[in-house]
Amino acid sequence: MKLFLKKLYKTMYLWAIGGLLYCLFELIFRGHTHWTMFAVGGFCFVMCGLLNEHIGWDMPLPLQMLIGCLVITGTELIAGVVLNIWLGLNIWDYSNMPLNLWGQICLPFSFLWFFLSAVAIALDDELRYNMFGEEKPHYYFWRKK
């Protein structure tokens, strides 16, 4: 039970950091955010951070970034369908963006998620190392030597 609570605390802590940072990012670049973006941003942050926790440090960082990009884009699609289409909250609309799907995801933002996933991965790893005493982060850009 103690181990479960420790893992739950760590996950909630990381979720909160990711959610707060994503909302801050939106406030800076869009001028507004929505409370649901705290949940979505936190979820994406935790998922990106889990890549080398469960797959291992041998995975090249660009591959982690690609998987992170796909996770974020997939989460954005699901959240967009639920929040924007089903519930009609109209939090975002990419209809005017090139190569969009139902106005919920688009290729330009997927490229942005690719690069931001590197920030999320590195920040998660540093937090896990400094706050929770986990393994010191180390990355490979192409393959392990």
Query: 98: which 2 tokens?
Result: 């090139």
Give bridge partners of residue 100 from the DSSP assignment: 106
pLDDT of residue 54: 78
- Between the two ends of the chain, the Cα-to-Cα distance in Å is 40
Per-residue confidence band for 130, with pLDDT thresholds at 50, 70 and 90: very high
Residue-wise pLDDT for 16-70, tens only, equals: 999 999 999 999 999 999 999 999 999 999 999 988 777 777 889 999 999 999 9
Say what the pTM is: 0.91
Q: What are the φ/ψ torsions at residue 59 (nearest 5 degrees)?
A: -70, 125
pLDDT of residue 145: 58
Q: Quote the percentage of the chain above a pLDDT of 90.
A: 81
DSSP 76-102: HHHHIIIIIIIS-------TTSTTEET
Helix 36-49, helix 61-79: angle, nearest 10: 150
pLDDT of residue 144: 63
Neighbours of 84 (CB within 10 A): 19
